[in-house]
Amino acid sequence: MTAPRRVAVVGAGLAAVSTCDALRAQGYDGELVVYSGERGLPYDRPPLSKDVLLGKARRDDVLLRPEQWYDEQRVDLRDGAPVRAVRPYEGGIELGDGSVAVADRVVLATGGTPRALPVPGGDDPAVHLLRTWEDAERLRERLLPGARVAVLGAGLIGAETAAVACALGCRVTLVDPVPVPLAAVVGDDIARALHLQHTAEGIEVITAGVERVERRSAEILVHLAGYDGVVAADTVVAGIGIRPATELAEDAGVRVDNGIVVQAGQRTSHPNVLAVGDVARRDGHRVRHEHWEAAQRDGQAAALGILGRPEPDAGAPWFWSDRHGSRLEAVGTMADAERTVRRGAPDGGALTVFGLCGDRVVAAAAVDRARDVKVARRLVDRRVVVDAERLADESVDLRVLLRSGGAT
């Protein structure tokens, strides 16, 4: 297969930049143009709900690459240049001004947009969402000591935002209809321990759905469903997930089903179009892996796909999340587990939970136990048969289990 002469990347988040990085690392010498819907140099998103909200990081601190990298790598970054359409059969893309840019391959790295609350008033601009640098700046200004902050949704972004607001001295109420959020992702024990942490830190946790949001001059009233009372807040933040930005793919006739469906090498249903990052879903996987490492790996896989080279096995997905000074890490897909095995103390102490299918570990999650997750990752990737009792036994070094389950 001959390498394409011109690759156009749509979007300039982590998946886009990783694609460019990997293409150059693989020796690709052709043209690389990145079209960004945002202004300025591409930045990393995880710090937005952590150090940026805390006021500890500026834009320069969170750039994905320094400015000179784009020159050095001959990556032509066009910022403030949203792509209007992808025309794979005509060999290119259409920009907002109607001009057409020719490309042999188009990589869709368009990420996702936060979902608005699907209730009356849910799309009021007073309800903050958190995805971009501007979102984080706008929200940071509101997180003043004593401010009443209602966070709707206690998933990863909601929980991080609530924890930051709490650390900044806000009076925080965290609302979620699910009593133990994230249980499907990290298992019941870890999810419960994490959720209890909010209460221990002084956050008011309410299990209820949201019925409507009402703006009343300076304050916002959150009316809850099946709950006696209304939450009055100065600032409301919704963290209820994202919708993958699949419009360009749909218009171009590329297969979309809960994300742009991709095969090995991030190839879509069109031979000249690839998709990476939060917008893509691997065929055969139930969920999109909307995490930092997955976006980076997708970029590497896309580079190999563009160059017609085989991609190595990506291994199990992994992510982290920080809240209240603790770090959650999870690997694999807990929803695939038939049963769980605990290692450590469930009541607020250090704990690792393994998800097993038969005698094999398919997932693990832990709080402040990075070493356990590192070994678990190898257990999952190598499909090692393990002895569940030894897995649970704190006196057994987990690394021993890597050798055929550590049979004695």
Ligand X SMILES: Cc1cc2nc3c(=O)[nH]c(=O)nc-3n(C[C@H](O)[C@H](O)[C@H](O)COP(=O)(O)OP(=O)(O)OC[C@H]3O[C@@H](n4cnc5c(N)ncnc54)[C@H](O)[C@@H]3O)c2cc1C
By the criterion CB under 6 A, which residues form the site for ligand X?
10-16, 35-38, 45-46, 48-49, 82-83, 109-112, 130-131, 157, 245, 248, 277-278, 290-292, 295, 319-321
Distance CA 150, CA 141 (A): 15
Residue 236, classed as helix, strand or coil, is strand
Pick 302 or 391: Cβ nearer ligand X? 302
Distance CA 295, CA 96 (A): 26
Pick 83 or 401: Cβ nearer ligand X? 83
Q: Minimum CB separation from ligand X for residue 269, in Å?
A: 19
Q: Minimum CB separation from ligand X for residue 18, in Å?
A: 8
How many CB atoms neighbour CB 198 within 10 A? 21
Pick 283 or 397: Cβ nearer ligand X? 283
Q: Minimum CB separation from ligand X for residue 116, in Å?
A: 15
Residue 179 burial class via C-beta count within 10 angstroms: exposed 0-12, middle 13-18, buried 19 and up: exposed
Pick 151 or 224: Cβ nearer ligand X? 151
Pick 129 or 224: Cβ nearer ligand X? 129
Q: What is the CA radius of gyration of the chain?
A: 22
Q: Minimum CB separation from ligand X for residue 230, in Å?
A: 28
Q: Minimum CB separation from ligand X for residue 227, in Å?
A: 27
Residue 324 burial class via C-beta count within 10 angstroms: exposed 0-12, middle 13-18, buried 19 and up: middle
Pick 38 or 201: Cβ nearer ligand X? 38
DSSP bridge partners of 77: 34
- What are the DSSP E strand ranges found in 254-396? 260-262, 273-275, 280-282, 318-323, 326-332, 339-344, 351-357, 360-367
Q: Minimum CB separation from ligand X for residue 232, in Å?
A: 26
The sign of the CA dihedral 90, 35, 298, 158 is: negative
